[in-house]
């Protein structure tokens, strides 16, 4: 395949991939009142429709980043997109709350693979001089997905029901899989390296303990799980320094203050904006009795 055409396909595929994951993150907030009503879910259980996806994505994104370097970024992108598409279908046909939450978690796991693969695939195909432009387009697609979620998702929910937001991403996922299969190249910069299974488990336990503990903060087990999570994260940091092929290069974070503080700023920013978008959607629909298609418009006029 011509190298120029190959680059265009990779750019198109990764742009679509960068759109659909954040679209789902923001659009699900608008659907929560309808999901809760249909499945008779209380507030705690309804929170897990959102949390199962986000937690799964956070736990698996770093391990999958390393796996993509070892086994191939195109391969991981195909697996991730296939899993994301199938999980979206099963979310859309869920018959109860448990089924929806399980497949939302699987959607989050697959979303982690997609999120980590789109950026690394672009850097594999494009030269350093070209990366600024294509990475800028990728970031633009990400924020387009986040912005379109409340607005486009609201219209889909109003006229086609809450299940439609899951079915909306299915044809996009199928198109991505078909296009990426046309690319014969593979990119595996760490091929042959050992995968850090122990570090991945410690990392996963740490994140799960902190996040799940926060959801149970008013009970006895909440602070206990948070403490276990924090201790696990510290253990993970020390352990990764000694591993030959870590899933997270602690030295890079330690020695690069710009990366460290920019990552911290991003964490604070996303924590605040995600909480606001989640609560504002519920407030506008439960308290103000707004229609779902107007939630996005209200959000844009009153950020």
At residue 195, the pLDDT reads 86
At residue 298, the pLDDT reads 61
At residue 301, the pLDDT reads 47
Domain boundaries, the chain: 3-194
Torsion-angle region of residue 66: left (phi > 0), alpha (psi -120 to 50) or beta?
Answer: alpha
pLDDT of 151 above 50: yes
At residue 28, the pLDDT reads 93
Could you tell me which CATH number the domain at 3-194 has? 1.20.1250.20
Q: How would you label 258-270 residue by residue, b for 16+ Cβ within 10 Å and e otherwise? A: eeeeeeeeeeeee
At residue 297, the pLDDT reads 61
pLDDT digits (tens, 9 = 90+) for 243-301: 888 888 887 777 788 888 888 888 888 777 777 777 777 788 778 777 776 766 665 54
pLDDT digits (tens, 9 = 90+) for 84-115: 999 999 999 999 999 999 999 999 999 999 98
Q: Do 63 and 200 form a contact (C-beta atoms < 8 A)?
A: yes
Q: Do 12 and 122 form a contact (C-beta atoms < 8 A)?
A: no
At residue 73, the pLDDT reads 84
From the list 299, 301, 302, the residue with the least C-alpha distance to 146 is 299
pLDDT of 30 above 70: yes
- Rounded alpha-carbon distances, angstroms, from residue 93 to 162, 176, 213: 11, 22, 30
Cα of 210 vs its chain's centroid, Å: 18
At residue 176, the pLDDT reads 92
Which pLDDT band holds residue 191 (cuts at 50, 70, 90)? confident
CA distance linking residue 49 with residue 100, whole number of Å:
7
At residue 302, the pLDDT reads 47
From the list 144, 152, 82, 91, the residue with the least C-alpha distance to 117 is 82
At residue 24, the pLDDT reads 92
Q: Is the pTM of this model over 0.75?
A: yes
Summary mean pLDDT of the chain: 86
CA distance linking residue 84 with residue 78, whole number of Å:
10
Q: How would you label 194-220 residue by residue, b for 16+ Cβ within 10 Å and e otherwise? A: ebbeebbebbbbbbbbbbbbeeeeeee
pLDDT digits (tens, 9 = 90+) for 222-241: 899 999 999 999 999 888 88
Of 135-139, 175-179, 199-203, 248-252, the poorest mean pLDDT is in 248-252
Which pLDDT band holds residue 303 (cuts at 50, 70, 90)? very low
């Amino acid at each position: 395949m011509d190298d120029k055409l190959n680059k265009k396909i990779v750019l198109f595929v990764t742009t679509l991939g960068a759109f659909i994951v954040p679209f789902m993150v923001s659009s699900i907030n608008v659907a929560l009142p309808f999901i809760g009503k249909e499945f008779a879910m209380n507030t705690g259980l309804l929170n897990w429709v959102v949390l199962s996806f986000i937690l799964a994505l956070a736990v698996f994104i770093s391990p999958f980043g390393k796996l993509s370097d070892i086994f191939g970024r195109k391969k991981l992108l195909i697996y991730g997109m296939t899993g994301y598409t199938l999980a979206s279908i099963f979310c859309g046909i869920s018959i109860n709350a448990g089924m929806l939450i399980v497949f939302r978690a699987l959607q989050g796991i697959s979303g982690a693979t997609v999120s980590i693969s789109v950026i690394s695939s672009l850097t594999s195909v494009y030269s350093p001089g070209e990366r600024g432009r294509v990475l800028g387009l990728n970031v633009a697609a990400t924020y387009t997905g986040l912005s379109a979620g409340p607005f486009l998702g609201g219209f889909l929910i109003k006229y086609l029901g809450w299940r439609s937001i899951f079915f909306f991403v299915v044809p996009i996922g199928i198109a991505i899989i078909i296009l990426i299969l046309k690319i014969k190249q593979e990119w595996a910069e760490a091929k042959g390296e050992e995968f850090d299974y122990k570090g991945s488990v410690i990392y996963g336990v740490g994140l799960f303990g902190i996040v799940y503990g926060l959801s149970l903060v008013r009970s006895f087990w909440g602070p206990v799980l948070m403490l276990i999570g924090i201790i696990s994260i510290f253990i993970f940091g020390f352990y990764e320094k000694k591993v030959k092929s870590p899933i997270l290069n602690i030295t890079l974070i330690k020695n690069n203050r710009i990366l460290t503080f920019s990552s911290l700023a991003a964490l604070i920013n996303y924590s605040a904006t995600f909480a606001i978008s989640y609560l504002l959607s519920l407030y506008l629909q439960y308290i103000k009795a707004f229609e779902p298609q107007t939630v996005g418009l209200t959000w844009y006029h009153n950020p």
